[in-house]
Amino acid sequence: MKLIQTIKNIWKIEDLRKRLIITFMFIVIYRFGCHVVLPGLNPSDLDAMRKFTSGGLMQLLDMFSGGAFSQASIFALGIMPYITASIVIQLLGMVVPSFQKMQREGESGRMKLNQYTRYLTVIILLVQAPAYLVNLKYQVMQAGGTVDMGFWPMFYLTIVLTAGAMFIMWLGEKITDKGIGNGISMIILVGIIARFPGALVQEFTSRLTTAQGGLVMFLVEIIILFAVTAGAVMLTQGTRKVPVQYAKRIVGNKQYGGARQYIPLKVNAANVMPIIFAQALMFIPITLAGFGASQNESGFLASMARTFGNMDGFWYNLVYFILIVAFTYFYTAITVRPTQMAEEMKKNSGFIPGIKPGKKTADYLDSIMSRITLPGSLFLGIVAIMPAFARQFGVNQNFAQFFGGTSLLITVGVVLDTLQQIETHLMMHHYDGLMKSGKVKGRTQ
């Protein structure tokens, strides 16, 4: 079978084999840490915390942390503070001249920005950790348990949570450098996949034990899930090809150019990043108000936390949709640079038929990107809020997360990127790729 032969080919490539093993080992370390409870806590007293994270935005935050949030683990705060810091730094790169200069400095500038991102991540963690611990104390006391949250316990547990989140960030960077790549996205993917089997079994049991359609409705849900997944794949891989004609050049005894090529402009060049960015911003009101803002609390921040903590609410989904559209344009603008593409074509004696080289070419490419990004961003936003509609039709809270939304889009995007990384190694060593029909298209293509 082709699949078995492909697996054998993967194992034959030493560098790829090492990267896969390293990635697997780091994932095991991460999953192990998700089950290490904070010191001084009794695991049996955490039932209320698990109930607290069984729905709404807290459930999504728990999923991003791989279940560590509800288990009061040393990794409870997960990777989201780092994502939030990355958003802030990228926004500063759009408006602050000194940050713009660092973005243009190449590798040295990237290292400086990464360092600032880490510093900002620590600051965010020092705000989120006490809020998490205060809510944890409240939840444990509600369940009849006891936990010491005086000054010193709060102090050292804040350090533990901060160190745990920074360690996750380090794992993600090592997966990117030494493993298969996409380290941060891989960390999020692992937390999502860990919940899928339980959610599937829970939905299957629920349909069989209630009068809401039974097995037929469950099969319909699976078909719809596959259809939405196929749509997400098409969104991730869709491109608009722009023809480029290269003039003939003779250097020495060799002739270059003369052939027509195509620039594949992606419909969704930002891939899953707008989803991650928008979701990180949706957590901010809850963080500022305290994770456990109750229905009886008053004040602007508490009201915001209740409004944006309801994932089925109108305002949550409207703001979430708008943020995704905005971040799609933002991320596409900083990753796809028409001016640079036009300059590269001009240097290589290339031009788009009917378009003058230089600024006219850059404007033409920019107009195409604007036209194809609009439907791509709208479809991305629709897929992102699909779980809210699924819950309205009686789909279980946990299983509804996979009907589009953050879970599905991140899963599709990261899986395609990982397959592309593996296929690149296979093609470099003259082995057949993973797909007979051609290359797997990932985020970088």
For residue range 74-115, list pLDDT tens digits in order.
988 888 888 888 878 877 877 788 888 887 777 788 888 889
Q: For residue 66, what are its two tokens?
A: 């791989």
What is the reported pLDDT for 306?
A: 65
Give SS3 for 265.
strand
Q: Residue 308 is encoded by which pair of tokens?
A: 């944006």
* CB 77 within 8 Å of CB 165: yes
Pick the more confident residue, 234 or 308.
Answer: 234
Amino acid at 74: I
Neighbour tally for 140: CB within 10 Å = 21
Q: Give the pLDDT score at 119.
A: 92
Q: What is the mean pLDDT of residues 324-350?
A: 82
Q: How far apart are CA 354 and CA 40, in angstroms?
A: 71
pLDDT at 300: 63
The pLDDT value given to residue 149: 76
195-445 and 1-192 share a CATH fold: yes
With bands split at pLDDT 50, 70 and 90, how would you rate the model's confidence at 435? Answer: low
Q: Who has greater pLDDT, 215 or 289? A: 215
CA distance 358 to 424: 32
pLDDT category at 121 given cuts 50, 70, 90 is: very high
Considering the four listed CATH numbers 1.10.3370.10, 1.10.730.10, 3.30.230.70, 3.50.50.60, the one that applies to the domain covering 1-192 is 1.10.3370.10
Is the separation of the CB atoms in 194 and 67 below 8 Å?
yes
Sign of CA dihedral 403, 404, 405, 406: positive
Distance CA 68, CA 29 (A): 13
Helices 405-428 and 2-12 cross at an angle (nearest 10°) of 70
DSSP state for residue 241 in the 8-state scheme: E
Which one, of 158, 147, 199, lies nearest residue 400 by Cα? 199
**Does residue 5 surpass a pLDDT of 50?**
yes
Whole-angstrom Cα distance, residue 405 to residue 324?
A: 11
Question: Per-residue confidence at 123, pLDDT binned at 50, 70, 90?
Answer: very high
Which CATH architecture fits 195-445?
A: Orthogonal Bundle (1.10)
Per-residue model confidence as pLDDT tens digits over 224-233: 888 888 877 8
Gyration radius of the chain's alpha carbons: 24
Average pLDDT score over residue span 349-373: 83
**C-alpha span between 163 and 170 (Å, rounded):** 10
Other residues' Cβ atoms within 10 Å of the Cβ of residue 227:
10
Query: How is the chain split into domains, by residue range?
Result: 1-192, 195-445
Contact 328/378 with Cβ under 8 angstroms? no
Pick from 98, 69, 72: which is nearest to 81 by CA?
Answer: 69
In this structure, the number of other CB atoms found within 10 A of the CB of residue 59 comes to 19
> 211 pLDDT band (50/70/90 cuts)?
low
Which runs of E-coded beta strand occur in 139-256? 239-246, 249-251, 254-256
Give the pLDDT score at 445.
39
Position 92 scores a pLDDT of: 82
Predicted confidence (pLDDT) at residue 253 exceeds the cutoff of 60: no
Of the candidates 364, 366, 342, 345, the one whose C-alpha atom is nearest the C-alpha of residue 355 is 364
For strands 254-256 and 239-246, give the pairing. unpaired
